[in-house]
Amino acid sequence: AQSVSQHNHHVILSEAASLELGCNYSYGGTVNLFWYVQYPGQHLQLLLKYFSGDPLVKGIKGFEAEFIKSKFSFNLRKPSVQWSDTAEYFCAVYSGGGADGLTFGKGTHLIIQP
């Protein structure tokens, strides 16, 4: 079974700081990659996704992520965070083969201090 590792469980930053959240996965084949965000009291929603093509993908709210196949990584970045970015962030990897081919990381709780 594949695994997804998010390196930081809790991250605290000040507004305007740059953000990078790590995500590594174990599956060696073709993957689809996702970052989801869960704002306090809200639905889990898709930030961005990678299926194929340009490994640098841009999502909503100024977020981007880079797929580095050789490192099995899909790190999430934002150059300047805002207080409203406080949320839980989940990386997910789909390796195909059925509905149970989607694996989530354990999440990173991001707190932005004003």
**From the list 32, 62, 73, 77, which residue makes contact with another protein (rule: CB under 8 A)?**
32
Binding mask 95-114 for another protein (x = CB under 8 A): -x-xxxxx-xxxx-------
Candidates 47, 83, 74, 40; CA nearest to 62 is 47
How open is the CA angle 60-64-69, to the nearest 5 degrees? 135
H or E element: which one contains 1? none
Among 25, 35, 72, 90, binds another protein (CB under 8 A): 90
Site size toward another protein (CB under 8 A) is 26
Contact assessment for residue 80 and residue 16, using Cβ atoms and an 8 Å cutoff: yes
Question: Which of the 8 DSSP states describes residue 30?
Answer: -
Q: Which residues bind another protein (CB under 8 A)?
A: 6, 9, 32, 34, 36, 42-46, 49, 51-52, 90, 92, 94, 96, 98-102, 104-107
